[in-house]
Amino acid sequence: MRVLIVTGRLAEDSARRYTTGLDVDVDVRVLPVSVAAFITPEAAAESLTSVKGYDLILLPGTIRGDVTPVEEATGTPTYKGPSYTYELPLILPFLDRVELSKTESASKLLRGVKESLALKEIKEVDESWREVLREEGGFIIGGEGREVAVGSAFPMRVIAEIVNAPTLELDQIMKRAQYFKSEGADIIDIGMLANDPKPDMVGEIIDAVRSSVGLPVSIDTLDPSEIEVAVSAGVDLVLSVDAGNMEEVASYVRDVPVVVLPSNMREGVLPRGAEERFAAMFNNMLQAHELGIMRVIADLILEPALKPGLLESLKAYQLFRQADENTPVLFGLGNATELIDVDSTGVNGLLTALAAEVGADLLFIPEHSPKARGSVRETVTASRMMFLAGRKDTLPKDLGLDLLILKEKRWVEWPYDRSVEDATEVVSAKPDDDLEWDTAGWFRIEVDREEEAIVAIHYVAVGEPNLVVKGKDAREVYQTILRRGLVGKYDHAAYLGKELMKAELALKLGRSYLQDDPLF
């Protein structure tokens, strides 16, 4: 495909720079206009009448109006390209898969193109899981209607734990399960209480989770009485069995997938060295098989960093997979993510990459502490990234999915030209604490976490509020406030814009929000 990029004089150098080296035949035509946004479709049509030999013409996405006049004048399909030249290498490789517009900037389309293609690739694998299982191998967790296919031909499946489930009300458990499902979890785990068995609660908790989400359910306990009740209630996966409880539970876990640990927690034994842990894992697996427990998943237990140490546990995983290529492996991120004061996004991303390197099939993650909020979504995204990277035999970058939240792949701001200060007055900004009361009223800004909404509560005097404005982003909230005439002073309007934007960022970033307090 031969493509003509049309731009203005100021953007010429960057347009040529960003289109060099692409696997697309591109020419750049500069019209006699300084700023690309000032190009009109009519002026472009007049300037490009003689243009021939192109399959496609892309005008700047910032120009106003419909670009059909250019297509009529040239006889070449013409559309709006992206709004910024740095986006050209992101959209040009996908011209055969993107439906461009004559009226809307391609930037709007671009935001979801690579992600949509990536998710489509994953969806195709998941929808054809039966065929993939036959051809590539693997196994199923869950009963009819809630099956999850697990194996090397699929993304690593994410198990999200409802921590300390017996301490929660059933409606809280159901909401937690629904939240994890919305974040992309494949399996919901019921985390029981260590050394405080509650077998009488297991059945109703499993029923509550199963009634709220159509996903497989697992139980995280070493207590034989809780495991027995869970199996009777139809649990889909048992975490966990080791040398301390194996003989007691063997008779009723033979038909259920079971996670086996390299430990004897009843006696407080968990080997620290990689080689010793690897050997204990094989001994426990051998014992499980001798007792008739055949659907085994190995969990070498990932340790926290430094104490007792992440590296030795990673070595144990590596040794195991080198010796056994077939047994499914569970990789628990929580011990490392929850026990380090580092943003969970990067920790979960890197740990998921390490899990992929040691051939893990299942990822286990709780969201126990506030600093780990969003860990399920982060782990799901990271798992998909590693899956796509593996299929493409490439690095986990430029895949259409990423975990970049606060940092950017590309620096896109315009550099400040200080020469503008030479020709005009420069005023140093100063705060003004002597503000007058807005007679139109005042607002209390909050966030509704359940609905993921910004809330602006309006008062005209001290006492009960007279109106609540709710919205998903700051813009729609402040525009509604302005339409309703709820602001009467410029400084109050500016203040509201600042606070509403803070609330929106708090929602997007998973940070707490308090009016008038800094976000960071």
SS3 letters across 34-71: CCHHHCCHHHHHHHCCCCCCCCEEEECCCCCCCCHHHH
Residues 254, 363: one domain? yes
Task: From 111, 137, 163, give the residue that closes a domain.
Answer: 111
For range 375-394, the mean pLDDT: 95
Res 117: pLDDT = 82
Res 167: pLDDT = 97
| 237-241/217-220 β-pairing | parallel
CA-to-CA distance for 354 and 321, rounded, in angstroms? 13
CA-to-CA distance for 309 and 184, rounded, in angstroms? 30
- What backbone phi and psi angles, to 5 degrees, belong to 87? -85, -10
The percentage of residues in the chain with a pLDDT greater than 90, rounded to a whole number, is 81
CA-to-CA distance for 392 and 153, rounded, in angstroms? 13
**Is 148 within a domain?**
no
Residues 225, 337: one domain? yes
Residues 262, 375: one domain? yes
Res 5: pLDDT = 95
Res 97: pLDDT = 76
**Is 404 within a domain?**
no
Range with lowest mean pLDDT among 215-219, 311-315, 453-457, 506-510: 506-510
C-alpha separations of 481 from 42, 398, 438, 477 in Å: 39, 40, 14, 6
Q: Which residue has the higher pLDDT, 390 or 417?
A: 390
Q: Which domain, by its residues, includes 377?
A: 155-392
Burial of 421 (0-12, 13-18, 19+ CB in 10 A): exposed
CATH code, domain with 16: 3.40.50
Residues 274, 180: one domain? yes
Task: From 86, 111, 136, give the residue that closes a domain.
Answer: 111
C-alpha separations of 315 from 264, 302, 337, 362 in Å: 20, 10, 18, 18
Residues 336, 449: one domain? no
Give the length of the chain.
520
Look up residue 425 and give its DSSP letter: -
| 453 beta partners | 448
For 25-77, write each residue's pLDDT tens digit. 999 999 999 889 899 999 999 999 999 999 999 999 999 999 999 999 999 99
Report which of 339, 275, 280 is spatially closest to residue 313, judged by C-alpha positions.
Answer: 275
For 469-500, write each residue's pLDDT tens digit. 999 999 999 999 999 999 999 999 999 999 99
CA-to-CA distance for 246 and 259, rounded, in angstroms? 11
Res 75: pLDDT = 94
Mean pLDDT of the chain: 93
Residues 179, 281: one domain? yes
Strand ranges for 89-213 from DSSP E? 139-141, 148-150, 157-162, 187-191
For range 195-211, the mean pLDDT: 96
CA-to-CA distance for 48 and 53, rounded, in angstroms? 12
Give the pLDDT band of residue 435 (cuts 50, 70, 90): confident
CB 137 within 8 A of CB 153: yes
**Is 50 within a domain?**
yes
Res 481: pLDDT = 96
**Is 416 within a domain?**
no
For range 259-282, the mean pLDDT: 96
CA-to-CA distance for 211 and 175, rounded, in angstroms? 11
Give the pLDDT band of residue 1 (cuts 50, 70, 90): confident
For 63-99, write each residue's pLDDT tens digit. 999 999 999 999 999 999 998 888 888 888 888 777 8
CB 6 within 8 A of CB 19: no
**Is 423 within a domain?**
no
Residues 191, 298: one domain? yes
For range 160-180, the mean pLDDT: 97
Per-residue tokens: 322: 């080198």
Residues 94, 225: one domain? no
For 205-216, write each residue's pLDDT tens digit. 999 999 999 999
For range 185-191, the mean pLDDT: 98
Give the pLDDT band of residue 412 (cuts 50, 70, 90): low
Res 498: pLDDT = 96
For range 238-255, the mean pLDDT: 95
CB 364 within 8 A of CB 337: no
Res 416: pLDDT = 81
Residues 483, 372: one domain? no
Strand ranges for 70-166 from DSSP E? 78-80, 139-141, 148-150, 157-162
**Is 128 within a domain?**
no
**End-to-end Cα, the chain, rounded Å:** 48
Res 423: pLDDT = 87
**Is 146 within a domain?**
no
Residues 55, 160: one domain? no
Range with lowest mean pLDDT among 95-109, 453-467, 505-519: 95-109
Residues 245, 380: one domain? yes
Model confidence, pTM? 0.82
CA-to-CA distance for 454 and 472, rounded, in angstroms? 6
CA-to-CA distance for 280 and 300, rounded, in angstroms? 9
Helix, strand, or coil (residue 240): strand
CA-to-CA distance for 336 and 164, rounded, in angstroms? 19
Give the pLDDT band of residue 144 (cuts 50, 70, 90): confident
C-alpha separations of 368 from 191, 262, 335 in Å: 11, 24, 11
CA-to-CA distance for 473 and 492, rounded, in angstroms? 19
**Is 411 within a domain?**
no
Task: From 332, 365, 392, give the residue that closes a domain.
Answer: 392
Range with lowest mean pLDDT among 96-100, 153-157, 501-505, 506-510: 96-100
Res 111: pLDDT = 67
Give the count of domains, the chain: 3
Residues 336, 288: one domain? yes
CATH code, domain with 329: 3.20.20.20
